[in-house]
Amino acid sequence: MVRRECVGAAATPTPNELSARFSAVYDQPLAIDQALTRLEEQPEAIAAVTVGLPRARLHTPPSGGEWSVNDVLAPLRSCADMWGKYIAMIIVEDHPTIRAMNPTTWIKSTNYPELEFAPSFRAFRKQRDELLAFLWPLPKAAWSRTATVTGAGRPRERTVLEYARWLANHERTHVKHIARIVSG
Ligand code: NI
C-alpha cells in the first residue's frame, strides 16, 4: 500500500493508470504561493521529525517489506532532480522540447538509495534552497511558460506551475509517510 503511493514505484502501471493516479493526487490545484510555501515547508517538516534520531531509526524499515525513512528520501530526491530540472529549463529556454524521464529510471543512475540519510538529506535541502531562490523572484507570467514534453505518450504542453505542483503534491504524500514511519 505504501509503495503504491509513489507513482513511479508501482509495479509496471499502464500509461492510463499512471495518468489517472497523477490526476487524482498530484494535479490538485495549488496557487503559485501555495506551491512555493509547500516546497519550502516540506523539507522543514522532514527535518523536524527526523532530527536527533539515531541512524538505525532512519535506515531500518519499521517492519519487513516496509520502507525506511532513507528509502523514501531517495525517490524524493530523484523527483526533485527531474522536475526541478524541467522547471529551470522551461524558465531559461524558449519553449524547449523536453524528453521526460521517469524519476524511477533516473534514480538508477544515482547512488541515492545507498547514501547515508544525513548527507543525502543535506543535499536535498541545499537543492531545494537553490530552487526556491530561483522561483521566489519569478514574475507571475513565468509560471505559465511551457515546454513540449515527450517521452510519456503523445507530446504534451506542460507549464512551470504544473511541474512545481507535482513536485509539491507528490512530496507531500511522502512527507506524511516519513512522519508515519518515525512515529510507528
Ligand atoms: Ni513517489
Note the Cα 13 to chain centre separation in Å.
Answer: 19
Tell me the CATH number of domain 30-183, given options 1.10.3720.10, 1.20.120.450, 3.90.1170.50, 1.10.420.10: 1.20.120.450
Residue with cell 522561483: 135
Predicted confidence (pLDDT) per residue in 2-37, tens digit? 333 454 443 455 566 666 666 667 778 899 999 999
Model confidence at 1: pLDDT above 50: no
Q: Is the dihedral of CA 125, 7, 37, 69 positive or negative?
A: negative
Averaged pLDDT for residues 95-118:
95
Cα separation, 90 vs 98, in Å, equals 9
> 94 alpha carbon to ligand 1 midpoint, in Å?
29
Cα separation, 89 vs 146, in Å, equals 10
Q: Which residues pair with 157 in a beta bridge?
A: 148
Model confidence at 118: pLDDT above 50: yes
Predicted confidence (pLDDT) per residue in 69-90, tens digit? 999 999 999 999 999 999 999 9
By the CB criterion, residues less than 5 angstroms from ion ligand 1 are: 6
> 118 alpha carbon to ligand 1 midpoint, in Å?
20
pLDDT score of 109: 95
> 13 alpha carbon to ligand 1 midpoint, in Å?
14
Please tell me which residue, 12 or 157, carries the higher pLDDT value.
157
pLDDT score of 10: 39
> 15 alpha carbon to ligand 1 midpoint, in Å?
16
> 54 alpha carbon to ligand 1 midpoint, in Å?
24
Domain assignments of the chain as residue spans, ordered by start: 30-183
Beta strands across the sheet bearing 97-99 = 97-99, 146-150, 156-159
